[in-house]
Chain A
């Protein structure tokens, strides 16, 4: 008598369980799908795989530079730790001369490229961009028409044209750069191509030079406001 209702109840419970199982499966698949798409979307925001590959390349190069700096500093520390007579003075003198070259305080020479840009109507921003492109390509010393340029030297727009540290540099601009020739030449080539497409530009050329000599220097400016921490 009671066997049939019990069987029916069991079958109904089984159906209920299977419905819930299917519902669970649907929810799971939907969640996986939505999360997967959301993850793709979130990770792709603002940067694609190609840009990531370039970023990896840049980071590799940056880390190589940092490794080189670490190695140089470890050598410097070892020299100072050697305690040999005169070792400290030599280290300090060498380091001071290196920084003078880096800050544009002394004439320098080395391999690099020389660009010539002849144009009318180019602005200070154009020269700033050109100098920044070369700096990003590893320029170690730059001169424009016998004016030494490092980051911090003002390149401004005046009524008479573009001025470097207050002195107008009249086109054609001859930009002499010392650094890694391969990297500099690649950037100079791109810049020359882009400039030639600009109607204002009459000439944009570059040449590789195994010994670029930069004689211009910057006058050291004492700090007025800044104090070492």
Chain B
């Protein structure tokens, strides 16, 4: 047997060995089952993506309809002083409900995930969760914030926060994860002092030490908040 022959056979043996390892790995990893799992998972993901696209489209349409309605109301108000007075009242109510974009002095709070570490209470403490956002929003309102938006989503009188682990859902919006930017218009100094108070936001402070979650804030002379673009229906409520 010549030297090239030996080399060729050695190479074939090596390749066969590698094939064996790969096939064994394949069988051990139960490629077929993960493939099915993956297919099912991908179907769920596609479903979520479609629903998210519909959600975004619906919110765009709602924003557009509100602009059209505002235009029609303004036209009507231009024809009558009484209608003008009603329109003015309504604009004020809409501003307080978060239905009108606003701006003014305020601050922006940034929340970012920390680093994984030993968890306590079955919660991934390094992740920013919806309760963190809720706590910061509540603190800002308690310090006189006149309007707040979280990652561009305006907070309204009916706003609810939900989610699981690091997923954050606000009202009928799609879920998002940190980094989270909370923009607030109001008394900048008052809000800043409250956020700087070491006794405020005890849970986030503890996780800043334990998991290095980030909470930073920046004051601004002009913070812009978008208008709310989702549902504010109250079908079960009637005035007494």
**Residue positions of A touching B, CB distance < 8 A:** 12, 15-16, 18-19, 22-23, 25-26, 29-30, 33, 36-37, 39-40, 43-44, 46-47, 49, 51-56, 58-63, 65-70, 72-74, 76-77, 80-81, 88-89, 91-93, 95-104, 106-112, 125, 128-129, 132, 135-136, 139-141, 150-156, 178-180, 213, 215, 220-221, 223-229
Contacts and interface: CB of A to CB of B under 8 A. Distances in A.
Nearest to B17: A26
A72 B178 CA distance: 33
B165 interface: yes
Interface residues of B, number: 106
A152 B104 contact: no
A125 B135 contact: yes
A29 B26 contact: yes
A100 B146 contact: no
Contacts of A154: 138, 141-142
B146 A19 contact: no
B216 interface: no
A68 B234 CA distance: 11
Interface of B: 4, 8, 11-12, 15-16, 18-19, 22-23, 25-26, 29, 31, 34-35, 37-38, 40-42, 44-45, 47-48, 51-52, 54-55, 58-59, 61-62, 65-66, 68-69, 72-73, 76-77, 80, 82-83, 86-87, 89-91, 93-97, 100-106, 131, 134-135, 137-138, 141-142, 145-147, 155-162, 164-167, 169, 171-175, 177, 185-187, 224-225, 230-240
Contact of B58 (A22, A60, A63, A180): A63
User: Among the interface residues B89, B103, B172, which one has the most CB atoms of the partner chain A within 10 A?
Assistant: B172
B232 A88 contact: no
Contacts of B104: 223, 225-227
Contacts of A55: 48, 167, 175
